[in-house]
Structure 1
Amino acid sequence: MHKLTMAALAAVVLAGCSSAPQEQQVTTYSYESKVHSGTVNVTEKQYTSSVLTCAPNWRDGPIYTPKGIIPIGHDHLNFVINLFADGQEEKTYTLDVPQALGSRVLAKDFQQGKEFMLQAESNGIVQQGEHFAYPEGYYVRISQPSVQGSNFVSCIGIDHMYVLDSDLQASSNPPIQLDRVVVPFVMDQVNQPVKVSFGSKIQHIAEIRVQP
């Protein structure tokens, strides 16, 4: 039996999923980070939908800050995001999102700080090298959640930041990868999860659904 690569699996998954949004474009760019080490290489995939349009700058909207005990019920949508990536364990995140969120952004940071001493040399008990630090993992944004007819809709953004092991070993200033996808999420209440793919050095598949 032949093993499917993540890229091939993504093609099969998306081809068989009627709820998947239409792909629009992939954009790449780089920037020098001021909050952690190194150059960040961004690969961003934007999807489109005939039902929902996400403004280009929606992720920069005011951040939603819950106050007090969050009520769970009809006023909230329960989003479940399953993330599959090459060579990594499956990640599952559940987010309770208020329907009154509007254009505010519910942001969840699932990243963990990583620190390394690269190309270190020892001189007696003193070790010297280049300190390298960055946050590794997923960052999720959700905005404009609502129920339209029989559809759950929302604008969803998923970021994944990481550094390849080979780059850590080869350089004192390895590039940081930031794979990003923007999804105008539209799911029929009786349909299967919306499935999208994204990535650069690592390929990802995201399955997104709203559960009762």
Structure 2
Amino acid sequence: MKGFPNYLVAFALMAMACSIASAYDPAPLQDFCVAASTSTDAVFVNGKFCKDPKLVNANDFFFQGLNIPRSTANQPGSNVTLLTVDQIQGLNTLGVSLARIDFAPNGLNPPHIHPHATEIFVVVKGTLYVGFVTSNPDNRFFTKVLNAGDVFVFPIGLIHFQYNIGSTDALAFSGLGSQNPGRVSIAETIFGSNPPINANVLTKAFQLDKNVVKYLQKQFSSNNI
């Protein structure tokens, strides 16, 4: 920039960089945020309003009972106890949450995604077969068999699962990089939507007989989940 002092050029470049950086949208904490036409229609979008700091106490950062085993007497044979900002109010804006996952023998935490968080997973007891699949077009499958003390990472937004291949109960804990990681269970979402997705769509998408699609929709309907 001829005719401009060096410090002014540097200042202009810095201002441009800051402008570009500040224009980047932060990661969402919910699936969508519809623009409000007036202030009376608006809601707070950070997930929660903030408590007056003078009224905050230790209980806002506390949860008790995560050591208690959860029932796995259900169809998948697993139980996820998720501690988000809804259970521990002090997590608001901190960007982390925690989950306990109990598995019966042959229990499965079915294929699902966390749209808002990466997950770091540690096995405390048992033997688990885990894996995730990368996005299109590669669809690479990464998998490991994990034993007590082993750790595995599931990147944000990718389909993943955990399956107990041992003959005893298994236990694992997960740290998630959001106060509201979200969960989309693949089969339940596709075949159990309300109202149901048109069977013709699923028949063509999954290359299945329409009777099979209708059977799966019945299995995953809200009455059976």
Q: TM-score range by the shorter chain?
A: under 0.3
TM-score for both structures, normalised by structure 2? 0.25
TM-score for both structures, normalised by structure 1? 0.26
